[in-house]
Chains A and B, each alone.
Chain A
Amino acid sequence: MLNVQDLDVFYGEFQAIDNVALKIEKGQTVIVVGPNGAGKSTLLRTIAGLLPPRRGTISFEGQRIDRMEAYHVVENGISLVPEGGRVFPHLSVLDNLKVGSYNKAARAKAQQWMKRIFELFPVLSNRKTQRAGSLSGGERQMLAIARSLMSQPRLIMLDEPSLGLAPLVVDMVFEFVLTMKQEGYTVLLVEQNANKALKVADYAYLIESGKLVFEGRSEDFDKNPYIKTAYLGI
């Protein structure tokens, strides 16, 4: 479904992504783990069209998307939940969701879709008219995910959804990732919390300073002695 090849991304002279390749099949939940500053967010932003790659190709459902503008990528069925959620604090919950269905394809079906979203997120339906800035951290993350789903994506990318949340809320977020998987979404998840993320993943990649250092299924990660000590704390 998504195919990333030979990807190089630079911030000025600094190379943030170095020759990364990544593949996601339809319906899979794939995670990218790695330490702070490894280039995980950069990778997602590049796929989302927010950053231009210097080299390499990204194709989605057989179509090249690596030179597309961000809004165009969304129209093609990929949606990103940015790091920290970034809900629009001065807009109501409802308006936040409306912005999510801004692209042409989604706008037509926005009404029914909204109903569906409120079934998935009953917390939000009680807070429709409330400003997003007044929600709790967990609710905000939920709203950010719901807002991305409003664009009716086939691939949803989550950038560190557990960042800054209380442990109990983190569990909730991961439970929701599982729900999305059951709903048939393809999910690309970036996490520092490797332990929890590996439990929901079909396939995983490890990135260190922009380079791909390991890939495999969750079991392979569990068996690797280096990853065990460095990332899983076992």
Chain B
Amino acid sequence: MQLISKFSRSGLMLLLILLIMLPFLISSSYLTHIVTLILLWSFVATAWAYMARFGMVSLGHGVFLGIGAYFPTLMFNYWGVTPWIGIFVGLVVAIVIAAILGYTCFRFGLLGDYFALVTLAVAEVSALVIMALREITGGSLGYTLRSTGRLADMQFADKRVFYFMALILLIGAMYIWRRIDKSPVRLALTAIEESEIAAASLGVSVIRYKMMITLLSAALTALGGSLYAQYVTYVSPDTIAGVGVSLSVCFKAILGGMFAVLGPFVGSAIIVSLEEYVRISLGTSFLGLSQIIFGVSLLLMIIFMPRGIMGSMSMAVAKRLNRISARH
């Protein structure tokens, strides 16, 4: 086991160095754009997996993405409030919504499928709210961020700034993930997942721990939504709120493996690249093909590799090492 952790640690360092140097190595701003998207979605998928890996599968993280994306954008366009403050407001709103939602679900003991269904409904509601407030939000046509190009408005001439912001956020999210793993919180949340009654009767405050991880997950997701909106300077209920994007976040984490710290990153890298590839090579001639590919591959994944790519890989490596050490 020690060997594996040493191995994965040096692998992580190598990946990190590569990601830091990448924007300087490649001159294509298109490629940098793709990797920025990968980093952004990895960050969001990692935040989603904070909850999912302890059995709280949310199909409604689009709500928090939407809040994070829309609040700073609208506040800037209407009131001229700098996104540096707007992001903070979005963050607070997301935390409040998550607290209301989470507390309601956990108080009444909604678990597993039921929890997932409630969150799914909430995601749908978030898209409907955006459409209903058409006058303000632009409805389903979306809304474009006013361009000023000023640093104070979080707009940068060099788009690579966003790349590094996304990278820092992702590293931060992975660091917190590791810290959770090493803290008693992991034990408490695992115990809660396996039996809430047993955990509660042993003195684990079930609601407190579930709320903690939910608020953390929602806050980081909102932050991801904010950064996405500032980066692409366009928000719409299809791309950053509602059911579709909620599910696509889950897909990324599940594909890569939601129990491994690198899983959501690997999943996002595969899906974002594949989406781009399909979009470019087929153009508009076969709309929806990428969705079909994802649908089928997700189905196969869940049946044959329920722990995702990273989960299955680490299990295979562990088996291999066991066999080697057994031989000696």
Instruction: Say if A and B assemble together.
Output: yes
Cβ contact within 8 Å between A102 and B201: no
Number of interface residues of A (CB under 8 A): 31
User: Given A88-B194, A90-B194, are A50 and B187 also a contact pair (CB < 8 Å)?
Assistant: no
* Extra pairs beyond A71-B206, A88-B195, A103-B203 (9, CB < 8 Å): A71-B200, A75-B203, A79-B202, A81-B201, A86-B197, A91-B187, A102-B187, A150-B202, A151-B202
Q: Does B199 contact A (CB under 8 A)?
A: yes
Interface membership of chain B positions 167-200, coded 1 if the CB is closer than 8 angstroms to chain A and 0 otherwise:
0000000000000000010011011001101111
Residues on B with beta carbons closer than 8 Å to the beta carbon of A40: none
A139 and B202 alpha carbons, distance in the complex (Å): 18
Q: List 29 A-B residue pairs with CB atoms under 8 Å apart, sorted by A's residue number.
A: A48-B200, A48-B201, A50-B200, A50-B201, A69-B205, A70-B200, A70-B206, A71-B200, A71-B203, A71-B205, A71-B208, A74-B203, A75-B203, A79-B203, A81-B201, A82-B197, A88-B194, A89-B194, A91-B194, A95-B187, A99-B188, A99-B204, A100-B202, A102-B202, A103-B203, A106-B203, A148-B202, A150-B202, A151-B202
Interface residues of A in 56-85 (CB under 8 A from B): 69-71, 74-75, 79-82
Residues on A with beta carbons closer than 8 Å to the beta carbon of B190: 88, 90-91, 95
Interface residues of B (CB under 8 A from A): 184, 187-188, 190-191, 194-195, 197-206, 208
A99 and B203 alpha carbons, distance in the complex (Å): 8
A54 and B234 alpha carbons, distance in the complex (Å): 53
User: Given A99-B187, A99-B191, are A88 and B200 also a contact pair (CB < 8 Å)?
Assistant: no
Residues on A with beta carbons closer than 8 Å to the beta carbon of B201: 48, 50, 70, 74, 79-82, 148
Cβ contact within 8 Å between B202 and A99: yes
Our count of residue pairs bridging A and B at CB distance below 8 angstroms stands at 75
Q: Does A201 contact B (CB under 8 A)?
A: no
Residues on A with beta carbons closer than 8 Å to the beta carbon of B203: 70-71, 74-75, 79, 102-103, 106, 151
- Closest-by-CB residue of B relative to A69 is B205
Cβ contact within 8 Å between B187 and A71: no
Residues on A with beta carbons closer than 8 Å to the beta carbon of B184: 98, 102
A150 and B191 alpha carbons, distance in the complex (Å): 15
A227 and B160 alpha carbons, distance in the complex (Å): 81
* Most B Cβ at <10 Å: residue of A70, A82, A91, A148: A70
- Closest-by-CB residue of A relative to B205 is A71
A75 and B205 alpha carbons, distance in the complex (Å): 11
Interface membership of chain A positions 132-155, coded 1 if the CB is closer than 8 angstroms to chain B and 0 otherwise:
000000000000100110110000
A69 and B201 alpha carbons, distance in the complex (Å): 10
Q: How far is the CB of B244 from chain A (nearest CB, A)?
A: 33
Q: Does A87 contact B (CB under 8 A)?
A: yes
Residues on B with beta carbons closer than 8 Å to the beta carbon of A49: 200
